[in-house]
Amino acid sequence: MGAASPARGGELVCAGAGSSAAGATLGGESATGASPRAESPLRARLPALNGRAGRSARARTSPLALGFALALIGSLALVVVDAAAGESPLLPPSPQIAKWLSGIGTHLGFHTFLICLLIFTAAYLGLVLCSRQVSRRFAIGLVAALNVIVLLGPVLISTDVFSNIAYARMAVIHHVDPYVHGPLKIQQDPIFKYVGTDWLKTPSAYGPLYTILTFPIAPLGLVASVWGMKVEELIASGLALFFTWRCARQLRLNPVPALLIVGANPLWVIYGLGGVQNDIIMLAFMMGAATLALSRREAGAGFTIVAGAFVKATAIAMLPFMVLSKRSRREILGALAALVCFAGIGYVLFGVKGADIFAILTKDASYVSSDGFPTEFMHLLGKPGVFPVDHVLLQAGLAVVVVYLMWRTWRGYDWISASGWALLAIAVTSPWLLAWYTLWGLPLGTIAKDRRLIVAILVVQLLFIVHQTSPLFSPVSE
């Protein structure tokens, strides 16, 4: 696997498209923010990524788009129903929360999951290409259905949600600081046996605001706690999608492609929502901040970005680009107010470690995953993996990219585009890459002026999915 370049790619055509893309404008900006470039063949052939509101915003849903939507729902439903049967290596050990689905499907094997993932991905790409043939009501209904299907099923892929429940119970019930100790301190708690073995001694890696948001579910029973986390995730997904829609409307873009690109994305639905990942909560704050910034409420935008960073520190990547673009004191004052507020709360509740959100970035940077782009690149070079010197080189390269993007933003480049490129660069250069990390720049990419950004994000996600599904082409036991 390799990192996607911002360069333009080849052409993609939506077969059977009923509306013409002729005359659509989709331009990036020059370094000085001057007039848009002439359209490339890619831009001319991707009306969904073009996004200007117009006749397509009021289009009726075509039979082709309906077929793609049914493929999305069918493949996702099969994964959820089979997952509810239990006994699958793709499911983390968890309490039974979907008993009403038991007996309908069979156990979820690797081949079944990977085939469904490929079908879902292919249908998603087809729907995105034909999104101008989708009515607004249909798009909203489809995304809502996908969210609800995932909500009704068991937790997929990851044990992270059980670690997060454990941290909440440590603080609320056992009065143990989750920023000093790992779940090993509460071995007697019923949640302990569901925590991933790699994280038993690991303190919380998330900001104090996220931990506080999980406090209400801590006193609940085991099953109710899992449901509480899933409902919290569903609300966050709804907010993130609502703010993405609103941003598109504020920029006079067609909101349907933006909604479908994010809300029907396989990594958003299956890995993010299915795995109950708090990255979606962070993205709700980030897109809320973008909405406020576009409404010229800069102080609120700065406050909201920093609040998102106290959920997960990655959100702070948006702030310097907004400040450099707006060049107003109000974003800085809002950000400082949030810093004082949430750092103070973190310090009062959890001490110094609860207030230091940036220590988390250093911790994550030391991990290595098999799915990371740097790991795969090292394998291509014949090396067994990423070494400490490689970590330093990756961080230096990331710093160069961020500084360049900040300079471009100072010169007039779109700050939303710059934020998205920075978040994509963080994900691609991280040796510790998880599926939901590729979602960080996705909502921003749908509203960015530089349309190459969304293409690059989708290419990176596609490479990740190809890597995930590669076992289909080699013997894999069920």
Confidence category of residue 221, pLDDT binned at 50, 70, 90: confident
Q: What is the pTM of this model?
A: 0.84
CA–CA distance from 367 to each of 3, 111, 182 (Å)?
19, 29, 17
Q: What percent of the chain has pLDDT over 70?
A: 79
Q: Which residue has the higher pLDDT, 14 or 474?
A: 474
pLDDT tens digit sequence for 95-118:
888 777 776 767 778 888 999 999
Phi–psi pair at 181, nearest 5 degrees: -120, 155
Match 């996600």 to its residue by tokens.
Answer: 461
Average pLDDT of the segment spanning 114-124:
95
Confidence category of residue 93, pLDDT binned at 50, 70, 90: confident
CA atoms of 366 and 372, how far apart (whole Å): 13
CA atoms of 130 and 128, how far apart (whole Å): 5
Q: H-helix or E-strand containing 80?
A: helix 63-84
Amino acid at 344: G
Alpha-carbon dihedral of residues 443, 448, 453, 455, nearest 10 degrees? 70
Average pLDDT of the segment spanning 288-292:
96
pLDDT at 44: 44
pLDDT tens digit sequence for 136-181:
999 999 999 999 999 998 999 888 999 999 999 999 999 999 999 9
Name the token pair of 374: 């740097």
134: closest CA among 30, 251, 47? 47
Give the three-class secondary structure for 52: strand
Match 């996705």 to its residue by tokens.
Answer: 442
pLDDT tens digit sequence for 316-359:
999 999 999 977 889 899 999 999 999 999 999 998 887 777 76
Phi–psi pair at 213, nearest 5 degrees: -65, -25
Q: Where do the domains of the chain lie?
A: 63-159+223-473
To the nearest whole number, what is the mean pLDDT of the chain?
83
228: closest CA among 310, 181, 266, 172? 172
Residues 6+ apart with CB under 8 A from 382: none
